[in-house]
Structure 1
Amino acid sequence: MNNQKTAQRLRGEVAPLLPEEQQEILDFQQAILRSVLGGGDSASMVADVCRLAEMLLPDSVGSVMLLNRDDGLLHLFAAPSVPQSAAQRLDFLRPGPGAGSCGNVIHCGTPQYVDDTFHDPRWSDLRPIAQDLDIRSCWSVPVVDGQGSIIGTFALSSFEHRMPGSFHRKLLDTGAALVGIILSHARWQDSLRLSRKAFDSAIQHLSTHDAQTGLPNRVLFRAGCESLVHSGAQGALLCLNIDDFRSINETLGLGCGDHILREVAARLSGLIGNAESVCRWSADEFLVVTSSAADLDSVANLCLRISEALCLPIEIDDQQVRLTVSQGVAQFPADGTKFDDLLRRATAALQDAKRAGKNIVRYATARANDTVRAHFQIAQDLRRALAQKEFELHYQPQICLRTGRVVGAEGLIRWRDPERGLVPPGVFIGAAERTGLIVDIGAWVIEQACADAARWRTLGAGDIRLSVNVSAIQTRRDDFCTILTGAMARHGIAAKQLDLELTESVFMEDSPQMRAMLESLKRTGVQLSIDDFGTGYSSLAYLRWLAVNRLKIDRTFVAGLRNGDDTSAIVQAVIGLAHAMNLAVVAEGVEDEETLRQLQEMGCDEAQGFFFDAALPAPQFEQRLFAAAPYAQCTDPG
């Protein structure tokens, strides 16, 4: 312990606990709990609580008194450093306003901190004992049983005048809790109120888990991590530190700091999906081990999701606290096959992140750092794009192959980035799905398509049908249908004007939740199309129960018509199947007149592609929509 911290303790200053102080408390707690698990007798273990507490507070003596319900007196149960003659004078104490710190704990039911026993009225009945034993200050707190009833006191008496600081109060509270556990253990055994097996399990949990957060402690986490690494699995060890946590403690107080630590632990456990893979390693530092994120992209995505989860506001006493975390990452086996090596490298990477600023991730290897920086940059850019309205919808006309008229359009998102220029979706949609931003981006697409459909209807286009692509991630959200119906209501468009293009991957998750979502979509009245039909799941089962309106033939099959290969039979079969089920067919990727002619001969209903138009910005599409002449190439071959 350094001199500054020693001086603070002696002066009783209330200051945030330093990391080493928190570790001392944790070590104190776990040493006693291991003794409980070992089956020692209660008197010896309570005496050990007193001795260990004395070691953490020099020039003090610890004592435990128990309340006898029959005679109402406090009896000295343990005071290993108090001479026998002095202990006898403290025994058989009747609680009351002048019965010292311990007597007042029972009398008032609250902790009692006395820094001058020679003059404080709470020691009026015990003044001679205080003077004879040279006890100048005495701090005492209640000991409670498993039902929350006060059964005694735990006290630290000192030969100096002083008041307790933050560390002392934490020490007293921890000691009292440990005494309560020990005595409850003994009483439970005597009364058989709790089976031995269940209680040992509870003690086992306490001896291997952090009392503050409920997460595995260092011993348990290390064992689990070493087992995972030695199994040959690929994964990563993440070292996380809450930025500016000491300032938070100083500003809001220790109680709020403890609440934040518990909330961080809960969010990490929920995100990882296994609480045993998360550990509070020190005061404001957490470790996460995972084998589900084995490749670099997966690890980078996990780091991003952790940052996003922990930056969500935490409600504390009618105010919101937002956190950022710095992260250091070591991958196994690439960065090591031993826990200590991985921890050292992850910690070094964390220190690099802290030096670079806040809310930053650093890896043990330079190549990984480049990748994760790119992940974070694209995520930040996409958030900025949403906030600053950098996304656009371009519309590719969908043409009726009998009349040549525009009957609909597919809305295709584009990103007009200030530095990159116009970015196509293939560049950023994958990143949006990995980060979960696809949900917000997809909601914007629906909102914008509804707004454009409403505008063009007022200009005389009638109930123009606009198609938008929907990610499987969007459909898994409970609020998807609410987002959809809300956008249609705000802009006053008919449900039939909106066509949702679902890929076949959506139907691969044939779960009750997915079926319920699709049933909800049907009830809204929106149009449904199966995009890229024939390239994925391609089961006819969902077509029987889902009211799909149209099938879209993937561009790879359409291109096959131009190349003269055997895909024409597949295209003809899809068109025949769709018409047999009263579904319309849309061909994608039509690029030449010969392909168009073949599709017309096969009876295809609609088509889109560069042969007609590329995806057009909304103003240009609007001009095309209101053009008087149809596409001349589209004539009924019959």
Structure 2
Amino acid sequence: MKLTGSRVYWVSTAVAVAFMLYGLFFYVSQQNLLKNITIAKLASARVHADEQAQAETARLRGHAASLSSTIAKITASQLENSQAFNVLKDGMASTLGPFMDYPEISAIEITDKDNRPYVSMWKSGGGIAFRVGYAIPPAFREKYRFVVRSPSVSGGQVQGYVAVYVDDQAISEQTTKMKDSLRTDAQTEIATLRDHFRRSLVTQLIVLLFGIVFAFFSSQAIARSYRIIDAHRRELRAFNLQLEHKVRERTDALQAAVCENQQINDELRASQKELLLSIDALRSKDEDLRHLAFHDTLTGLPNRALLIDRMEQSIAVAIRQTERRAIMFIDLDRFKSINDSLGHDAGDALLRKSAARLLSTLRATDTAARIGGDEFVVLLNDVDTPDSYASIAQNLIDVLSLPLEVMGRTVQVSASIGIACFPDDANTAVELMKHADLAMYEAKSAGGETYRFFEPAMTGALMQKLQLESELRHAIDHNELQLYYQPKISLDSNELSGVEALVRWRHPVRGIVSPMDFIPLAEATGLIVRLGDWVLEEACRQSAKWRARGLGRIKIAVNISARQMQQGDLVERICELTRQYGVPPSDLEVELTESVVMANLQESARIFTSLRQIGTVIAMDDFGTGYSSLANLRRLPIDVLKIDRSFVTNADRDGNDAEIIKTIIALAQTLKLAVVAEGVETEAQAAFLKGCGCTTAQGYLYSKPQPAARFERWLLQSASGAVSQVAASAQGCEPEPRSGLRAG
């Protein structure tokens, strides 16, 4: 077909239109593509910016929580010790300061476990405010509401809390800046694409000729855009890594500083504790030594050294002010009996309670001291007249005589008090003590439970007593003692049923020394144990001698003291002596007073049981003068009750004594015990006792105590029917003091 101009024109026009339409279509498609790319880029940039902002916000808040925990660990030991915290509060500022460099941290607050503020630090006016003992201002709390709070734990205990206030506004601004940066990058990229599109628009219009070139340049432009984005991503990642590295380096440095600070704190705390312990130990040791040097370890009262010092000071004041002073020397009556029968623990408890009663009775200006054993001394200041001393002494006796509960038992002691006055009786502390001691012995000699003022004549009496003690020791060692024997007669058959051995002292100068003089002295000095052992051995020796002479078996009653009971070897000693002299233990009768037996009922029952097993007869002496009961008697394995002479003397004339004797005999018959009446001196008394059912009598009606040789003659006379004659001759004799191992 031949082309014509018009055809060419139309073809050209058509081709041109086609090319124009194609170009228009291509332009429109490119515009749509550019628009879609722009929308996609913006959406991708927005999503990426949001993700980056959320991640950054979470990372910063987690970092704030990590810093809060780190600070809590740093300050835990300082919160544990408020004193150490106050000392190191300046160091606390330097410790917390580096944490304030982080832009997301606006404040740090440290409180104790009760939420009381210790340290507060916050950003204010371009600087950092630091306060000790103050909380963060309320306005600041309202502004920054996001708080990370961590407990500060030391030794397993919460010592306090650390609160880190996070700056949400700073995080938001940082996030906004990041979003704007990413949006700007995206817009820059889009502008670059548009610029490339405009520059390549001509090329696009002649795409028919240069389509490949246009596609090539377009792909290059797109690739370049993506490379730019990747470059930005790599730069951002490198920045994040660098930031994390710096944070890690700063954290490691802070951790090292915390460890060093903790080590220094531990060393300081250990040194402080060691120093305090050393000081406390030295102070305690010094106080203990001083207390031990001047106080009694049992009662806590001043001892002799401190008492003498206070007495000398008091005397010096009395001399300057022309005043009077008094010393009271106190000895507890019957303490030795309780201590021997109940044991030393009971004795110690009794002394402690007696000391407490002394302190509660005296004035604050007076001094009470224990100088040994059961002896106390009281220093009285500012008392005017001897009548006042007497009133105080009587008050002390009344208080000390009240019953006491000791180790589950009710016991009762009394007190003997000697009084010496300054300046009447002596001018020195030592002389006053000596004279008060003499007066106390005088009170004790008067029967106890009373007081005596010192008199010059007492000095001679003390020397006599010391001399008597020395001579008694000599008498025991050199056999100056002698046993007298008083028969016990059966009221039914009027025959001898036994004898009681009573010790006598034949002094080479003094003659016969009364048992009332040397028995209490032996008990006070402890010689009673040796004396009692001598009596027991001499009785066994005499029993064997009588058997050898053909006088038959004569039961000998021997008195046993509380000290011998306390020794714990009484049964073994009796077995040893009876074997040594060939005497049956049944030929011995052991007598103990009612008060000694009842003082330690369980121990007495144990010893009595052992004595019964070897055949020894057991008698309770002076029955009716103590505090035994029917229940106690039933528990004791005894054989004989001895009625005290105080009831027998007036029994035939006094209705009360008669009723007491009848009651005792009825009690003995109920318990199947034999009864011995002591101190029978008249036929009327013997007849009354026999009528009441008493089986045995002992007294001057039949015979006074007499030496062994004289008793043998009496025994021979009584065997020939002359007991009544001997009794008649004995009635005209003066009563002689009787004693086994007791005064009476």
TM-score by length of 1: 0.48
Which structure's relative contact order is higher, taking Cα pairs within 8 Å and 6+ residues apart?
1
Structure 1 or 2, whichever has the larger Rg, is 2
Structure with greater helix share of residues: 2
